Amino acid sequence: MTQTRQPQRIHNPASIDAAALRAAIAADGKVIVQFGEHFDAAPLLADLDALAADCGAALEIRFYGYHFSPFDAAILRALPHVANLSLDCHTSAINLECLGELRQLRQLQLGVYEMQEHDILALENLRALEYLSLGETRKANVDLAPLRHWPQLAQLHTTGHVKNIAAITVLPALAQLSLSQVKSKDEVDFISAMPALARLRFILGGRTSVAHVTAPLLEELEVVRVRGLEDLGDIGRFPRLRRLAVEDQIKLQEVRLGSNPALAWLVLRNCKTLARLPGLAALPALDNLGVQLTQLDIDALLADGLPATLTHLTLATGKRKRDEEIRARIEQLGYARARFY
């Protein structure tokens, strides 16, 4: 949800310019060197591995987009020092067990659509991972049970994979969770048992309600394009929430705000049946409010009063003439435009 500066991407380089890569890392905190299908990366990997030994997770090495031939993970043996690895957008792969030889690995993005290794997370060296992203697979059957042995895991993204996901509730460091394409039949009650959860994202998938989900330490919540969602519940149940984004929810008619003493950033976008926003005026810390393409009564919203702390405001209906009138009124009131990211 929180936007960060995008790192530089070096695509299919002819050589490894260590000085330039170090400069990019110094400027952005991270750099990505990526190789696509049909490019022979092997001659460059010794130099790249030497750089990885010094730069750690700030250097992401990515192999992506093998659609017509399987990605051969045996090439990873040339990268024993890689700490940040992405193997994604592949149709198939072979020799994925070579991941188990990467003892310095701390961050992994894995996306192989026809992946057969449903027990890949049982590789012992993966227990040191701090970040894991699992992309979509045809069967969505990767077993998450081994995650219970990953004490350093701080961030997890999963696209459709929920088999034994309750294992993550024992993890003391897991603060960021992103759930994509989770089906309506899949329970998400485990979220309430996560001890350190600070950021939660639901995207795609489907369910009618998340009102039963609790997380006492939650600071950021994002709900995007969840099919059939009708009820978020009382947002006041998240007392530490600082940022809330709700987007592309066509059945959601109300967002109920509680006391929410820390909520400073609120974005509601493309929720075309959203007509009620109770509790808005009483928010004690709201600084940024962005509302686009909803059924909220803009005139009533302004007349009812906005939080005294508000400095950034955008209200838009999608109708050009009406939006010009609203924008002029907001400018007269002294508000700057809202930040949507």
Assess if residue 95 is contained within a domain.
yes
pLDDT digits (tens, 9 = 90+) for 95-107: 999 999 999 999 9
Residue 206 lies in a domain: no
pTM over 0.75: yes
Interval 271-289 mean pLDDT: 96
Tell me how far apart the alpha carbons of residues 179 and 201 are, in angstroms, rounded to a whole number.
6
What's residue 2's pLDDT? 58
pLDDT at residue number 54 = 96
The pLDDT, as a whole number, for residue 304 is 84
Q: Is 294 among the domain residues?
A: no
d(CA 129, CA 120): 13
Is 34 part of any domain?
A: yes
pLDDT-derived band at 1, boundaries 50, 70, 90: low
pLDDT value at residue 29: 93
- Name the band, by pLDDT with cuts 50, 70 and 90, for residue 135: very high
pLDDT at 3 over 60: no
In this structure, what token pair is assigned to residue 172? Answer: 């003391």
Average pLDDT over the chain, rounded to an integer:
95
Sequence-separated (6 or more) residues with CB below 8 Å from residue 247: 222, 223, 224, 225, 267, 268, 269, 270, 271
Residue 313 within a domain: no
Spatial CA neighbour of 219 closest among 243, 236, 246 = 243
**Domain that includes residue 107, residue range:** 1-128
- The stretch 227-247 carries a mean pLDDT of 96
- Residue 10 is assigned to a structural domain of this protein: yes
Inside any domain, residue 251: no
pLDDT over 90 at 321, yes or no: yes
Angle, helices 45-55 vs 18-28, to 10°: value is: 40
pLDDT tens track for 71-81: 999 999 999 99
Structural domains in the chain (count) = 1
Q: Tell me: pLDDT of 333 over 60.
A: yes
User: Within a domain: residue 112?
Assistant: yes
pLDDT for 7: 87
Q: Is the pLDDT of residue 5 over 80?
A: no
Q: What is the DSSP letter of 331?
A: H
Mean pLDDT of 109-134: 97
**Residue 4: predicted pLDDT:** 59
pLDDT score of 184: 87
Contact (Cβ atoms closer than 8 angstroms) between residue 318 and residue 294: no
Q: Over 70: is that where the pLDDT of 254 sits?
A: yes
Predicted confidence at residue 182, as pLDDT, reads 92
